[in-house]
Amino acid sequence: MAKTSYTLLNFRKKFYKWNSSLSFFLSIISFLIIVYEFGIYSTDKNRDVFEYIYFYSIIIIGGLKILRYLVLFPKKLPIEVWIFDSLFILAVALLATGKFHYYNNTYWLWKLVNNNIWLYVMISLIFFKKISGLGIGLSHKRFNPALIFVLSFLILIILGTLLLLLPNATHNGISIMNALFTSTSAVCVTGLTVVDTAKDFTLFGQTIILILIQLGGIGIMTFTSFFSFFFKGK
């Protein structure tokens, strides 16, 4: 009996690891393709291929989520995880049915669901959810909170610099130092610029800067909140 329970537990751990790893891999590949599509010029033919990759990646990730619930029967999950997974599975179901068949009386709904913007949003949500899961895992390994804060800002600044250097991020290109300064300023929420953000950056570049500002602001608020609780001694 004990051996059977151990075997079942070992299977559940391996299944969860395999399921999560495959979902993470698909989300990374799809997200990198989104960055390539918007950051580097691509032909219409490439966009059709990208759309198929996005669609089937989402379908597979949704199927893996359903399979995980059927096999593992998780009970002690936070309510926000249940809500997120339920909405995601519902969105995948709408996406799948709308892709293969249009219903005459609800054509507007399927046309709305099959807009590519939903593919981008869903892939980005899954990607950042997986990345945040890695961050939570690191927080349980007793790393110095100050070190985690500094490293997270450093990684975010480097990623922002690389994204701002992409051809479609600016109208006439940008130097590495200017991209680094802009990324650092956005993440640290200083508001300093060395180039005209409105004129020199495209909509893609301005969106990157906006995201860096939001993520940097969240990081600063988290860091401030941590030390406010720390010095209270609770």
Task: Enumerate residues 6+ apart whose C-beta is below 8 A from 42.
Answer: 36, 50
For the chain, give the longest Cα–Cα distance. 70
Model confidence, pTM: 0.72
- pLDDT tens string 194-230: 888 888 999 889 999 998 988 887 766 766 666 666 6
Q: How many residues does the chain have?
A: 234
Using only C-alpha atoms, the chain has a radius of gyration, in whole angstroms, of 21
Q: Take residue 78 and report the two structure tokens written for it.
A: 């936070």
Task: Tally the C-alpha atoms within 13 A of residue 114's C-alpha that lie toward its C-beta.
Answer: 14
Task: Enumerate residues 6+ apart whose C-beta is below 8 A from 174.
Answer: 164, 165, 182, 195, 200
Q: Let me know: does 202 contact 170? Beta carbons within 8 Å.
A: yes
Count of beta carbons in the 10 Å neighbourhood of residue 218: 10
Inter-axis angle of helices 145-164 and 176-187, nearest 10: 140
Is pLDDT above 90 for 182? yes
- pLDDT tens string 45-86: 677 788 888 888 888 888 888 888 888 777 677 777 778 888
128 or 162: which leads in pLDDT: 162
Which residues partner with 201 through β-bridges? Answer: 170
